[in-house]
Amino acid sequence: MLLGLVHGGAVHDWAQRVIECDDNPPAAFFEVITINPTDLSALRNALWPLVIEPDPRAVLESLFARLNVDLAAGRRLMGDTITILRQMRSMLRLPSDLYEGLNAAIIAQARGGQDDAVVRWLGQFASRGDPGK
């Protein structure tokens, strides 16, 4: 949600499924389902107690895979993709190899000599498929 990759309705549905399937779900899930799915700020605040710091590598790679799929399918423009990647670089604690690769791709893209730097960097996550399905 922070990065605009997941809509509030999907988070709301996920929280509902957790409550239905878990014998003792954390209280934060009950808070999530009481919030309007369009109120992203309130949803983020409700989800905060569930956050694992730092995000597991598999989660980060899934986010990059989603960006790759959306960009390749034309569901997201390059400018939006770069904005999200910059947010990820500054707001998430990335493992050093991911940070260094992402940073190099963003810089190369910004310099203009390598207009496909971000596409090539995101391409390494293509094997993870479409995480939105």
**Judgement on whether residues 13 and 29 belong to the same structural domain of the protein:** yes
Distance between CA atoms of residues 20 and 3, nearest Å: 27
Pair 30, 74 in one domain:
no
**């009950």: which residue's tokens?**
30
Tokens encoding 5:
């990759």
Give the pLDDT band of residue 22 (cuts 50, 70, 90).
confident
Same-domain pairing of 65 and 45: no
First to last CA, the chain: 17
pLDDT reported for residue 79: 92
Question: Are both 71 and 116 inside the same structural domain?
Answer: yes
Residue 66 located in a structural domain? yes
* Residue 31 · residue 45 · CB < 8 Å: no
133 in any annotated domain = no
Query: Is pLDDT larger for residue 43 or for residue 102?
Result: 102
Band (pLDDT 50/70/90 cuts) for residue 103 is very high
Same domain, 63 and 32: no
Residue 21, domain member (yes or no): yes
Structural domains of the chain, count: 2
**121 and 65, same structural domain?**
yes
Q: How far apart, in Å, are the Cα atoms of 125 and each of 42, 68, 92, 97, 104?
A: 31, 7, 18, 14, 16
Q: Does 45 share its domain with 64? A: no
28 and 69 in a single domain? The answer is no
Give residues with Cβ within 8 angstroms of 60, minimum separation 6: 88, 92, 94, 95, 98
Q: Structural domain of residue 84, as residue ranges? A: 57-128
pLDDT tens-digit series, residues 32-78: 999 999 998 898 888 888 876 766 888 899 899 999 999 999 999 99
On whether residue 115 sits in a domain, the answer given is yes
Residue 120: which pLDDT band, with cuts at 50, 70 and 90?
very high
